Amino acid sequence: MKKLVALIIVFSVSINIAKSQNLLAIPDTISGTEFNLNIYDTSKVFYNGYTTNTFGINAAYLGPTLFLNKGDSVNMHVANELMDTTTIHWHGLHVSAMNDGGPHIVIPPSTIWNPSFKVRDHAAMYWYHPHLHMMTNMHATMGAAGLIIVRDSTEATLNLPRTYGIDDFPIVIQSKCFDANKQILVDNASDSVMMVNGTLNAYLPAPAQVVRLRVLNASSERVYNLGFQGNLAFSQIGSDGGLLNAPVSLTRLRLAPGERAEILIDLNGKEGQSINLMSYAAEFPSAIYGALQPGMGAGQTIPGYTANVLNGQNFNIMAFNVVAPTANPITTIPTTLVNNIVWPTGSANATKTLTFSPVTMGPTAIQGPFLINNTSFDMDVVNYTIPLNNIEIWTLNNQSPIAHPFHIHDIQFYLTEINGATPPANMQGRKDVVLVPAGQTVKFITKFETFCDSMATYMYHCHMLPHEDDGMMGHL
Ligand SMILES: [Cu+2]
């Protein structure tokens, strides 16, 4: 009998080792109108027996999720307890340039930055992260980032899951590189370890009902081709800055650095099953970071890239272990959501074309640095001055051999064309990041409203953080 018990214990341990999974961390929350964030040097155990140095915000890795209500006036208190200067940018929020936390709005060590602003954004998930010139990748990779969930009265009327951590889950996807001592390596194409919410090899017990996932790609460079094991269909209901007009049924969702997507998965009747969230990167065409070939040509690569086991492969991101439904579960997916009103293209006052190119042509062209309109970022040169209330159409023309996720501060935009074609339905909502494939053009329309300040600027840049740090950025 003793032997049998021992055998059962050994067997169950070996099953656990085979699964070798960790319960997904769900970031703590702060709600109300006063938000205290402390950025500090700390550490976290990602691997048993190793202490990894990190930058924390109120926690060892990734900050708390901030719940904001549209219309509220909020006060942020950001204390920098690092040895280094940093900034905090509210990615996607429509705030004044002085409150935006770009590279000019620095928080020196041992000081507190106190921006106050009115929440003007649509219900969606946004995020906050450092934006210090040439240091964004380092600070964000070390863990200084967190989520913002905005709620509004329109979203509140919809029959959607919205109980955080119960049927509405944040999913922050990052690829990381650890050295032999399990310290985080920054700016390295050997980002072969996947983590979700800072958890390696994560699983989430998810109830057997309609579940909402708010997915952020917070990786420095990697693009994901998200899908569920067995090609389980899911519905995208929101993009970066708001809900879509109606859910869009998908089996794949490409998500580039900085982009967010809200999706619903229907787990009704799946209790007891385990379903992996995957990246089907083997399906990517060339010239995307994450594809087998990161450049347009076979000879174009990045040091460390070819040896990285994630590139061009289908891999697990995390697992959903389906458990019993909650009380009063959401069991259906709505047919309509909101009514996004897009500015007519004829209403535009101005157009701009931004051309992306490498500094050097040839085999090393995909290693950067990259230029926008043949110009590298200069802290002291304002690239565009835009009259308040201008409606503009921007054409992003990628003449470099790798796809770049373009991000602009202050506004949300609507895509009007992708390489001459109408964008797919899941890309027709409010966005602040768009992946511009190599050799292609993307057009969007937006309105620059509410804020203008001749003394402070907003950034636009590539959200592949090494590209941004290397000067693929401008300001307006
Ligand atoms: Cu880029």
Q: From ligand 1's centre to the CA of 238, what distance in Å?
A: 24
The number of beta carbons lying within 10 Å of the beta carbon of residue 359 is 17
* Helix H or strand E segment including 243: strand 242-250
Q: Residues 6 or more apart from 180 whose CB is under 8 A from it?
A: none
Strand partners of residue 68: 150
- Whether 145 has a pLDDT exceeding 80, the answer reads yes
- Whether 360 has a pLDDT exceeding 70, the answer reads yes
> Would 168-323 and 345-475 be classified into the same CATH topology?
yes
Long-range Cβ pairs for the range 328-332 (8 Å, 24+): 329/167, 329/207, 329/208, 329/209, 329/210, 330/159, 330/160, 330/161, 330/167, 330/209, 330/210, 331/209, 331/210, 331/268, 332/159, 332/210
Q: From ligand 1's centre to the CA of 355, what distance in Å?
A: 12
What would the mean pLDDT of 370-375 be, rounded to a whole number?
A: 97
The number of beta carbons lying within 10 Å of the beta carbon of residue 185 is 13
* Helix H or strand E segment including 279: strand 274-280
Gap between the Cα atoms of 57 and 232, Å rounded: 35
Q: From ligand 1's centre to the CA of 257, what distance in Å?
A: 10
Q: Residues 6 or more apart from 308 whose CB is under 8 A from it?
A: 189, 190, 191, 192
- Whether 19 has a pLDDT exceeding 70, the answer reads no
Question: For residue 2, what pLDDT band results from cuts at 50, 70 and 90?
Answer: very low
Q: From ligand 1's centre to the CA of 287, what distance in Å?
A: 12
Q: From ligand 1's centre to the CA of 52, what distance in Å?
A: 28
Q: From ligand 1's centre to the CA of 35, what distance in Å?
A: 32
Could you tell me how many residues make up the chain? Answer: 476
Q: Does the 23-156 domain belong in CATH 1.25.40.10?
A: no
> Residue 307 corresponds to which tokens in the numbers above?
């040896």
What would the mean pLDDT of 111-135 be, rounded to a whole number?
A: 96
> Residue 284 corresponds to which tokens in the numbers above?
């990517």
Phi-psi region of 368 (alpha: psi -120 to 50; beta: other; left: phi over 0): left
Q: From ligand 1's centre to the CA of 463, what distance in Å?
A: 6
- Whether 8 has a pLDDT exceeding 70, the answer reads no
List the chain domain ranges.
Answer: 23-156, 168-323, 345-475
The number of beta carbons lying within 10 Å of the beta carbon of residue 267 is 23
Backbone angles phi, psi at 347, to 5 degrees: -85, -5
Q: From ligand 1's centre to the CA of 403, what distance in Å?
A: 7
Q: From ligand 1's centre to the CA of 434, what distance in Å?
A: 11
- Whether 111 has a pLDDT exceeding 70, the answer reads yes
Helix (H, G, I), strand (E, B) or coil at 103: coil
Looking at residue 20, its pLDDT comes to: 54
Q: Which position has the token pair 């290397």?
A: 470
What would the mean pLDDT of 266-271 be, rounded to a whole number?
A: 98
Q: From ligand 1's centre to the CA of 369, what distance in Å?
A: 9
Sign, CA torsion 228/233/238/240 = positive
> Based on the number of CB atoms within 10 Å of its own CB, is 327 exposed (0-12), middle (13-18) or buried (19 or more)?
exposed
pLDDT digits (tens, 9 = 90+) for 68-103: 999 999 999 999 999 999 999 999 999 999 999 999
Looking at residue 5, its pLDDT comes to: 45
Q: Residues 6 or more apart from 348 whose CB is under 8 A from it?
A: 391, 392, 393, 445
Q: From ligand 1's centre to the CA of 318, what distance in Å?
A: 27
What would the mean pLDDT of 156-166 be, rounded to a whole number?
A: 98
Q: From ligand 1's centre to the CA of 409, what distance in Å?
A: 16
Looking at residue 12, its pLDDT comes to: 41
What would the mean pLDDT of 61-69 be, rounded to a whole number?
A: 98
> Residue 168 corresponds to which tokens in the numbers above?
């509405």
Q: From ligand 1's centre to the CA of 442, what distance in Å?
A: 14
What would the mean pLDDT of 400-426 be, rounded to a whole number?
A: 98
Q: From ligand 1's centre to the CA of 290, what distance in Å?
A: 13
Question: Number of H helices and number of E strands within the chain?
Answer: 4, 33
Gap between the Cα atoms of 146 and 197, Å rounded: 9
Q: From ligand 1's centre to the CA of 81, what distance in Å?
A: 30
Helix (H, G, I), strand (E, B) or coil at 226: strand
> Based on the number of CB atoms within 10 Å of its own CB, is 309 exposed (0-12), middle (13-18) or buried (19 or more)?
exposed
Question: For residue 180, what pLDDT band results from cuts at 50, 70 and 90?
Answer: very high
Q: What is the identity of the amino acid at 146?
A: G
> Residue 309 corresponds to which tokens in the numbers above?
């086991």
Question: For residue 13, what pLDDT band results from cuts at 50, 70 and 90?
Answer: very low
Looking at residue 9, its pLDDT comes to: 44
Q: From ligand 1's centre to the CA of 51, what distance in Å?
A: 32
Gap between the Cα atoms of 32 and 313, Å rounded: 43
Q: From ligand 1's centre to the CA of 356, what distance in Å?
A: 8
Q: From ligand 1's centre to the CA of 106, what distance in Å?
A: 23
Domain at 168-323, CATH homologous superfamily: Cupredoxins -  blue copper proteins (2.60.40.420)
Gap between the Cα atoms of 253 and 171, Å rounded: 14
Gap between the Cα atoms of 321 and 311, Å rounded: 26
Looking at residue 253, its pLDDT comes to: 98
Least reliable range by pLDDT among 94-98, 216-220, 301-305, 348-352: 301-305
Q: Which position has the token pair 């109606």?
A: 246
Q: From ligand 1's centre to the CA of 370, what distance in Å?
A: 7
Q: From ligand 1's centre to the CA of 221, what distance in Å?
A: 8
- Which of 258, 261, 227 has the alpha carbon at shortest distance from 243? 261
What would the mean pLDDT of 428-432 be, rounded to a whole number?
A: 98
Q: From ligand 1's centre to the CA of 33, what distance in Å?
A: 35
Q: From ligand 1's centre to the CA of 253, what distance in Å?
A: 20
DSSP state of 274: E
How many alpha carbons lie under 13 Å from residue 122 in its C-beta half-sphere?
22
How many alpha carbons lie under 13 Å from residue 229 in its C-beta half-sphere?
12
Q: From ligand 1's centre to the CA of 223, what distance in Å?
A: 12
Give the predicted TM-score (pTM) of the model.
0.95
Question: For residue 257, what pLDDT band results from cuts at 50, 70 and 90?
Answer: very high
Backbone angles phi, psi at 83, to 5 degrees: -80, -10
- Whether 11 has a pLDDT exceeding 90, the answer reads no
First to last CA, the chain: 75
Higher-pLDDT residue of 297 and 226 is 226
Mean confidence (pLDDT) of the chain: 94
Q: From ligand 1's centre to the CA of 243, what distance in Å?
A: 26
What would the mean pLDDT of 277-299 be, rounded to a whole number?
A: 94
Least reliable range by pLDDT among 30-39, 41-50, 129-138, 282-291: 129-138
- Whether 467 has a pLDDT exceeding 70, the answer reads yes
Q: From ligand 1's centre to the CA of 326, what distance in Å?
A: 43
Q: From ligand 1's centre to the CA of 294, what distance in Å?
A: 12
Domain at 345-475, CATH homologous superfamily: Cupredoxins -  blue copper proteins (2.60.40.420)
CA angle 164, 168, 174 (to 5 degrees): 95
Q: From ligand 1's centre to the CA of 29, what distance in Å?
A: 32
Strand partners of residue 227: 278
- Whether 1 has a pLDDT exceeding 90, the answer reads no
Cα–chain center distance at 129: 10
Backbone angles phi, psi at 48, to 5 degrees: -55, 130
